[in-house]
Amino acid sequence: MGYDSNKKCLKCYQYNDYLYYCEDCGGTFCTGCIVSEKTDCTYCNECAHISIGNKCEICGKINHLTAEKTLKRCPMCSSIKIKDSKRKIDGLTEEFSSNVNLLSSGLDTIKAFASKYSEIVTQAKHMRRERFGLYPNIEGNLLRIQDLFYEIIQRASEILDKVSQHIYQDARTLIFNQNISVSKLRGIDKTLKIIKTHALSYSNILTDYLSDPLNELEDIEVKVKELKLYSELFDNVIEKFEPEIYELKIAAFPNIKMAFPSDNRKKVGTLFITNKKIYFLLKSKLISKKVKSVPISMIKDVETKSNIFTGNQLFINMSEKNLIKIKCPDDIITKLKFIFGILFNENENYIITDPYMMENYRAGLNFSHLKDKLDKRIKDLKEIPFSPSTQQLRERPIEPRRQVESEEVMNLKIELKAAKDTLRELIKAFNDRSITPEVYFSRREKTTQKIYMIEQQLKEAQYTSLDFGFTDLLRYYSDKHPDRHPTR
């Protein structure tokens, strides 16, 4: 009786019943050939896990407690993904389920996006209730992001069908039992990695789809936070003054040096701007004067001047001699010029006309249909009946994926075959001298062009078809659940 070739160490070429399996290179090695080395690691207080580096591999938190761990490395590729071959075989079913569960990681991205959207809509509604009129494009952008989100959900549902097809085709070739040899283990491990790649690709696709809407949502979030900062400044002085009910709040800037025509020097305070007036509240508590205000209608223009001693200043011109001087950082000067330019022109593109319009906006995004469909796909894929065959995986014939052709593809193939037959008969007739050269070349040119056009249409129809390899999956669903119809 000879040795089992599957129990051979690829390093020392000795036969051994106790082998380690490398998940990266697929090699099997005995205990004596496995490289063991001590490595500096860190210990996580949260999940009690020892990780390489200062970041926990499970929870992602930064660790500060140092530790030492003995790691096993592959003698061929230096990988640390070394496992006991028997434990690897025993955990194949669990590994398959874990890889299929990765499909749900795409749903986590959608949940995070929907949660962020809901939070921003709620904050924006609060700002509009406070009668802030700046950034009216917030409403339109949120509505557009909502429409784009539902388009992405529909596309994600279609892609889920195609990814499920590929996972099903790969999973139906797996063999899970206790008599798996190392040669079978290599093939199964490769298939499991392919399934994992399919599942992660689905999550990455959803992340890419949501990247642009997420960037737009973050821009809106910055604007809402800016309005929230202005709102806090207004709320802090509500006992000293409050804009009239017909005024819309625009902005507020603290620590502004400002001088009115009657002032001898600039004084520090907070500048409040509405769509009708500007207000200036002194910061000093010793001065008991009321807040100063100037109607926007009295302002003619705003200009910036600078000199070596005072730097940049903003001048608000009400007449030739009536000037309001403002000294503040350059970024605030730029912001003030922008705001005053809007107020002078009464530009409705930048000032909202109905602050309560956003009350009708829904804060929640509904993706329950995709969630239910994803849960069903994961559940059905986990229930695939694996073959108990004891044949070698490489000896088991793998059925090629069959393409389920739509009616359009079938008709185009029939037309293409007929056109090629016509061209073949035309060449035969010319060789038999049954037709003249003029007729032959004319008909050949037309037939060749027709063949080319049909081939292009066929390629496009095959590319856009969503029915690739889905028949087997539908048949499995029908056999597994005969009392209900599978849905895509």
Question: What is the SS3 string spanning 181-232?
Answer: CHHHHHHHHHHHHHHHHHHHHHHHHHHHHHHHHHHHHHHHHHHHHHHHHHHH
Low-confidence ranges of the chain (pLDDT < 50): 1-4, 385, 387-402, 466-474, 476-477, 484-488
* Two structure tokens written together for 30: 């005995």
Give the Cα separation of 251 and 332 in Å (integer).
Answer: 11
Domain ranges of the chain: 5-88, 98-235+360-382, 249-343, 405-466
Give the Cα separation of 282 and 291 in Å (integer).
Answer: 7
Which residue bears the tokens 């889905």?
470
Give the Cα separation of 213 and 265 in Å (integer).
Answer: 49
DSSP string, 14-54: -B-SSEEEETTT--EEETTTSEEEEEEEEE-TTT--EEESS
Task: Report the DSSP beta bridge partners of residue 36.
Answer: 72
Give the Cα separation of 163 and 174 in Å (integer).
Answer: 17
Q: What is the pLDDT of residue 384?
A: 73
Q: How many residues does the chain have?
A: 488
> What are the pLDDT digits (tens) for 222-241?
999 999 999 999 998 888 88
Statement: 249-343 belongs to CATH 2.30.29.30: yes
Say which residues have a Cβ less than 8 Å from residue 395's Cβ, sequence separation at least 6. none
Give the Cα separation of 40 and 60 in Å (integer).
Answer: 18
